[in-house]
Amino acid sequence: DPQSWAARCNRGWVYSQQGDYATAIADWTAAIQIQPTSAIPYFYRGQAHQKQGDLPAAIADQTAAINHAPQMALPYCYRGALYQQQRHYLAAIADLESAASILHAQGEHRMLAQVTQALASLKQLETKPALVARAVTSAS
């Protein structure tokens, strides 16, 4: 049924698993048109955009997913990873901190441990440029 939100979401997922991201994106876009306030098709479409290398579109979709379902931790995790790819470390840290807070409140301890570990690594990356800048400044 072309007007079925669930059918479009599920078919998009199948296409994405087959590596047909363009068709998956088309199905998730149709699902969004059917039910524009659902976070799920935005979330998955964002992943497909990332696989295609379109980071701005991926970030926009993860942001839409967050806006429609702020209690979902995964869009924060994925958007944080996208920000990290762009070396926007402070934005990535903020997203992972949001995800950690949500996961803690939901009792998702296993995923929380993974997010906490990623946060620690990111915070080290974020401070390295500042340390290098200080070293260069003090050496001159």
3-class DSSP string for the chain: CCCCHHHHHHHHHHHHHCCCHHHHHHHHHHHHHHCCCCHHHHHHHHHHHHHCCCHHHHHHHHHHHHHHCCCCHHHHHHHHHHHHHCCCHHHHHHHHHHHHHHHHHHCCHHHHHHHHHHHHHHHHHHHHHHHHHHHHHHHC
Can you give the pLDDT at residue 22? 98
Task: Looking at the structure, tell me whether residues 104 and 49 fall in a common domain.
Answer: no
Can you give the pLDDT at residue 1? 72
Q: Are 79 and 66 in contact (CB under 8 A)?
A: yes
Task: Looking at the structure, tell me whether residues 91 and 140 fall in a common domain.
Answer: yes
Task: Looking at the structure, tell me whether residues 82 and 135 fall in a common domain.
Answer: yes
Task: Looking at the structure, tell me whether residues 6 and 42 fall in a common domain.
Answer: yes
Task: Looking at the structure, tell me whether residues 43 and 101 fall in a common domain.
Answer: no
Can you give the pLDDT at residue 12? 97
- Give the residue ranges of the chain where pLDDT is below 70: 127-140
- Domain encompassing residue 101: 70-140
Task: Looking at the structure, tell me whether residues 50 and 77 fall in a common domain.
Answer: no
The pTM of this model reads 0.86
Can you give the pLDDT at residue 79? 97
Can you give the pLDDT at residue 2? 72
d(CA 131, CA 136): 9
